[in-house]
Chains A and B, each alone.
Chain A
Amino acid sequence: GIQVEQSPPDLILQEGANSTLRCNFSDSVNNLQWFHQNPWGQLINLFYIPSGTKQNGRLSATTVATERYSLLYISSSQTTDSGVYFCAYGGATNKLIFGTGTLLAVQP
C-alpha cells in the first residue's frame, strides 16, 4: 500500500524559533493536505497543496510532486502552534491517507 511518512516524529522549540516538517509519500499525488491538530483535538486544515508553494502568515508549504515529498515551514513559532501536524495524501480516490504526525511543543 501507499506509505506516508513524516519526520521528525516530535520536536521541541523555543518560542520564536523556525522549523521544517517533512512528509514523504510513495506514489503519484493528486491531493496533499497539511493539518494541525491542536491540544483540544480539533483538526484544522492548513494547506491544500498537491504541488507548488503556498504561504499563509507564518506558515508556508511546498510540495515537490516529482520527488514525492512535501515540507511545512513554521516561522517565529508561538506556543499556540503546539500540537500534532499531519500530512494527508490523496491518490486516485477521494479518501485521504494520513501520516503518523509530528508532535510539536513550543515552549515560552
Chain B
Amino acid sequence: NAGVMQNPRHLVRRRGQEARLRCSPMKGHSHVYWYRQLPEEGLKFMVYLQKENIIDESGMPKERFSAEFPKEGPSILRIQQVVRGDSAAYFCASSPQYQQGLKGYTFGSGTRLTVV
C-alpha cells in the first residue's frame, strides 16, 4: 500500500505563474482533503472532495485557487497567478467512506511551494 502520494515534493514558481499540485489517495480511499501550512503555523483546511464532487470548499481562498478530483487520475490543487504569500507546504490527506473517514485520515508528505 503506497500511501497518499503527492508530487512534486518541491515546486518553485515565479510570481504570476501557475502551480499545479497533485495528490493520489490511498488505494480504496474515495475522499481527498487539502490543507495548507504557512511557515511557522499549523495546518489549515482548504477543501474536501470526493470523486467529481467538491463537498466543502470553505477554506479555499476566493480567487486564484481551485481543486478537482476527477473520475480518473489524481486530485489537483491549482493556484493561478501565484504570489509570494502562496509560499507554503500543501498537504493532501485521504480517507475511505465518510462513516469510516475520520479513522482513516492519512496525510501525504506534502508539496513545498516557493514563489520567487
Which residues of A are interface residues toward B (Cβ below 8 A)? 30-31, 33, 35, 41-43, 45, 48, 50, 86, 88, 90, 93-101
Q: How large is the interface on B (under 10, 10 to 19, 20 to 34, 35 or more residues)?
A: 20 to 34
Q: Determine chain B's interface SS by DSSP, over half rule.
A: strand
Known contacts A41-B109, A41-B110, A41-B112, A90 near B102 by CB under 8 Å: yes
- A99-B42, A100-B41 as given contacts; A94 in contact with B101, CB under 8 Å: yes
Query: Is B103 located at the chain interface by the 8 A CB criterion?
Result: yes
Residue of B41, B45, B103 near A95 (CB, 8 A) is: B45
Chain A, Cβ-Cβ closest to B112: A41
Q: Is B106 an interface residue (CB 8 A)?
A: yes
Interface majority SS (helix, strand, loop, mixed), chain A:
strand
B45 & A96 in contact (Cβ 8 Å cutoff)? yes
Q: Which B residues touch A88, using CB under 8 A?
A: 43
A-B contact pairs, 27 of them (CB 8 A): A30-B102, A31-B102, A41-B112, A43-B43, A43-B91, A43-B107, A43-B110, A45-B105, A45-B107, A48-B102, A48-B103, A88-B43, A90-B102, A93-B56, A94-B48, A94-B95, A94-B98, A94-B102, A95-B56, A96-B43, A96-B105, A97-B45, A98-B44, A99-B42, A100-B41, A100-B42, A101-B42
Tell me if A42 and B42 are in contact (CB < 8 A). Answer: no
A98 and B42 within 8 A (CB): yes
B interface vs A, CB < 8 Å?
31, 33, 35, 41-45, 48, 55-56, 59, 89, 91, 95, 98, 101-103, 105-107, 109-110, 112
Residues in chain B near residue A30, CB distance under 8 A: 102
Q: Which residues of A contact B109 (CB under 8 A)?
A: 41-43
B32 to chain A, nearest CB (A): 11
